[in-house]
A and B are shown apart, each in its own frame.
Chain A
Amino acid sequence: MYETVKPKEVKTWFKAAEVSKFPKNGGACIKYKDKQIAVFNFTREGTWYACQNACPHKMEMVLSRGMIGEENLVPKVACPMHKKTFSLKTGENLNGELEAIATYPVKVEGDVVYVGFSE
């Protein structure tokens, strides 16, 4: 149900929430139709990322509560359950063999955050 959307595949820019709803250098969860999407405000890099909220390890809806950081310049999120880490760029599981998580494009216009979907 969660599939990576590349920037050029975006059909809908969904208006997620105001910038202020997302903690600096942290994440929060948004709801889009029946999907839960984790959106991260990587203030130190000045970038935003989005990915599925479900951790592929145990399928719990928790990734938005994970801590973000970086490893060899790859931005990542650590799941709060068992600290599996995932690249926020490619979705790849960096410290294990779990399947990659789906990632989504994010853009900010004015003080509003938009997440891109292909449907």
Chain B
Amino acid sequence: MKTVIVVGNGMVGYKFCEKFVAKTDREAFKLIVFGEEPREAYDRVHLSAFFENGDAKRLSLAPREWYEENGIELLTNERVTDIHRNSKTITTLSEKTLAYDYLILATGSAPFVPPVQGVDKDGVFVYRTIEDLEHTLAYAEQIKKTTRSPKAAILGGGLLGLEAAKAVKDMGMEPHVVEFAPKLMPRQLDARSSKVLQVKLESMGINIHLSKATNQILGNGKITGMEFGEDDVLDVDMLVISAGIRPRDELGKSCGLKMGTRGGVVVDNTMRTSDPYIFAIGEVALYNQMIYGLVAPGYEMANVAVGQIIGDVETHMAADIDMSTKLKLIGVDVASFGIPFMPPEKGHSIIFENKTESLYKRINVSHDGQKLLGGILIGDATDYNMLLQMYLNEMPLPKNPEDLILGSRGGEDVSFGSAMDLPDTAVVCSCEAVTKGQICCSVKDDGNETVKAITKATKATTGCGGCKPMVEDLVRETLKSLGKVVKTSICEHFAYSRQELYDIVKLKGIQNFDELLDNHGTGHGCEVCKPLGASIFASIYNETANRQETIQDSNDRYLANIQRNGTYSVVPRVAAGEITPKQLMDIGRIAQKYDLYTKITGGQRIDMFGAKLHELPLIWEELIAEGFETGQAYGKSLRTVKSCVGSAWCRYGMDESVSFAIEIEDRYKGIRSPHKLKGGVSGCIRECAEARGKDFGFIAVEGGWNVYICGNGGANPKHAVLLAEKVDKETAMIYIDRFLMFYIQTAPPLTRTAAWLDKLGGGITYVQDVVINDSLGIADELDRGMQVLVDSYQCEWKEAVENPEIRARYTHFVNSEEEDETVEFVSLREQKMPTPWV
């Protein structure tokens, strides 16, 4: 039996173990792993996720039991201090001595801390381990208690630095990125793209300081600022250093292995160091005179070392290693691949820049126009995976290579872009080195027909996760090519998509959720399929949320949005934002009576917060008596149709936007849909109502209304696209009727119109065909469907207050008249708010 010792239980050391146990039998080798960190190996790539959930367990790559089950001896909290090559033994800090046949150095790297005066002060951190993060977080918490608007600097504007900046911002500190170079991400981006990124980050509240060399860290014991030039000082309360990495090569150095001039243990393409019994993999290894600071090459190195040890001597490290990267988490797409900046003698570049939308796309193409050599994407990296594959596989380019970044402008769909066009050898998941061929075979031959099953079988998507969209496409397209319908089942209880369930309910006339579950599903339902069922019943029969109250999402169940302390908000409809002084006074009087916090919402109406459950019917009764009705701020339904004042008052107005907005809001109110719906109407192209940020919008122009659809604010803003130009009001409304019904019938659950359009084959042209040209012959049906909904509207709050049975639901205890004494408020600028969560 041979002994293999792995020094370092980080990402690559772990991968070595995983590949090793998969390929060897237990009798032949003994595997001993040393890790200096207290925990078993975890996913460093997603370290920042720790800020969001503080959950170290979730990052773990494999639990301790996994090592046990596979006969691996894992010693954490144990640093290896010496290698004795003559006796082939190692010693550890606790003075254990062990003999090896093969030794694997997987000690990774450490953050580079520049030798600036004062870096040892309190409040200066690095960003590499969970402990680093815990210390940073604890310090930030302390600072936040004593400082009003605390600031944190990040030294280094590279990939990691920007990720750290986002993390610091999420901790509630004002982030300042300090970079030595004159641009951000100097290794991946050209000057122009770097500028676009900078402007975008600044707009997100991340401050950027370029061309700054830090002279010293200021402060007495703890950091208070950074000094660049003599009078150039930045006051900060905390600093995170992210200025590059240095390999942890101290063991290699002390035992006399061949080293690179600037560090790193030199390896050949078998991952052997200058001692044939010692291998180095991951960020400690210097291969091709480079340290590769990414997991994918590290994983490949682990694979090669395993191959070499078990006698698979043909496995070698490739000569070219792809260093393409996509920045994650920061809230703006950034990607760079191949040769990002290219000298003119090698090829030419096609550059598209739109500063107002923070978009920059560059591709570098060979002189003969045949090959993609590299590129940069800022603001929108949806095509990154496909472009990367075209580059890696040297695939032929379209006739007009600019189509790759601009899309085809001839009206037809671009012919590139299907993952199925890739060669079988294309590596789709580079972290786990899974090819397109392997994925497609797994679907075809092993019956792994969902992304989940593929992930389990091949481990694709488990690394950085960047390949997930492409894997999804491959699964779907392979199934299609086999003539199978793609199962997008909504949860374990229904093997159907939302659209299929919609059709089932409609065709079979199913009346309630139990009937649907008994006849077409299994088990007892869950928080995914129940609200989805509720949405379908509402869309088909226009039943209110009161009828099947326990399948409603909890906000719908009580017809109000739950707030932090378990109280609720009250939002009456104020169509188009038009409100009379009398109505304002009514709202004011009622809010005062029930001591509610009031605020004007972003949807042009008034929200009253802090109503206790039992008060809701009382408040609504009074509002209804004054002529108000529910604003359905809680439902996946029409929210508001925002309007500008329009030609009634405005000197530029082309038409009466308020009247139109009221008409529309009244028409669509109460309609439930896969996700919430918002509309907007502007009186002219100055667009004060932001109609192009809404699910549907109208803008008055000379000669009629322009109709837009599928805009979105929220998490992923999208401008709406033009559906029809200069049409009259009646036509505009018919189009939107049909569009909405089409969306309601076909969209997956919880998908806004913008996301729905994105996934819809054929895009806006297809919607135009269906809605305007009636290409599917369903226009009549859509029209009728909408009319049914419009005609059967009723205010569900009116129903609730008038029906004693429904009204009885609004009580905190069913066995006592008492109120919930745990509800607490504190005062806030002459109003009140819930006691904050600790």
Q: B524 contacts A62, CB within 8 Å?
A: no
| Central interface residue in B525, B555, B562, B566, by most chain A CB within 10 Å | B566
Contact for B813 among A30, A62, A67, A80, CB less than 8 A: A30
CB-CB < 8 A to B815: which residues of A? 16-17, 21, 30-31
Judge if B526 is at the interface, Cβ distance under 8 Å. Answer: yes
Instruction: Tell me the chain A residues, 33-81 only, with Cβ under 8 Å from chain B.
Output: 36, 42, 44-45, 58, 60-62, 65-73, 75-76, 78, 80-81
Chain B binding surface SS class:
loop
CB-CB nearest in chain A for B531: A67
Q: B550 contacts A80, CB within 8 Å?
A: no
Number of A residues with CB within 8 Å of any CB on chain B? 38
Judge if A29 is at the interface, Cβ distance under 8 Å. Answer: yes
CB-CB < 8 A to B517: which residues of A? 44
Judge if A7 is at the interface, Cβ distance under 8 Å. Answer: no
CB-CB < 8 A to A76: which residues of B? 526
CB-CB < 8 A to A67: which residues of B? 527, 530-531, 550-554, 557
Q: A65 contacts B557, CB within 8 Å?
A: yes
Nearest Cβ in chain B — how far from A113, in angstroms?
9
Judge if B837 is at the interface, Cβ distance under 8 Å. Answer: yes
**Contact A25:B526 (CB < 8 A) given known A30-B813, A65-B558:** no
Instruction: Tell me the chain A residues, 6-34 only, with Cβ under 8 Å from chain B.
Output: 16-17, 21-26, 28-31
18 more CB-based (< 8 A) A-B contacts, given A44-B517, A60-B565 = A17-B815, A21-B814, A26-B549, A28-B814, A30-B813, A30-B814, A31-B818, A60-B564, A65-B554, A67-B550, A67-B554, A70-B525, A70-B526, A75-B524, A80-B562, A81-B562, A83-B527, A85-B527
Q: B527 contacts A44, CB within 8 Å?
A: no
Q: B57 contacts A97, CB within 8 Å?
A: yes
| Central interface residue in B58, B514, B814, by most chain A CB within 10 Å | B814
CB-CB < 8 A to A61: which residues of B? 566, 812, 820, 822-823
Nearest Cβ in chain B — how far from A97, in angstroms?
6
Cα distance, A99 to B596, chains bound together (Å)? 34
CB-CB nearest in chain B for A41: B550
Cα distance, A23 to B445, chains bound together (Å)? 48
Nearest Cβ in chain B — how far from A42, in angstroms?
7
Q: B814 contacts A69, CB within 8 Å?
A: no
CB-CB < 8 A to B814: which residues of A? 16-17, 21-22, 28-30
Q: A44 contacts B562, CB within 8 Å?
A: no
CB-CB < 8 A to A62: which residues of B? 562, 566
Instruction: Tell me the chain B residues, 731-765 only, with Cβ under 8 Å from chain A.
Output: none
Cα distance, A71 to B526, chains bound together (Å)? 7
CB-CB < 8 A to A42: which residues of B? 524
Q: A97 contacts B55, CB within 8 Å?
A: yes
Judge if B816 is at the interface, Cβ distance under 8 Å. Answer: yes
Judge if B169 is at the interface, Cβ distance under 8 Å. Answer: no
CB-CB < 8 A to B565: which residues of A? 60
CB-CB nearest in chain A for B820: A61
Q: B549 contacts A72, CB within 8 Å?
A: no
Cα distance, A85 to B550, chains bound together (Å)? 16
Judge if B348 is at the interface, Cβ distance under 8 Å. Answer: no
Nearest Cβ in chain B — how far from A114, in angstroms?
11
CB-CB nearest in chain A for B562: A80
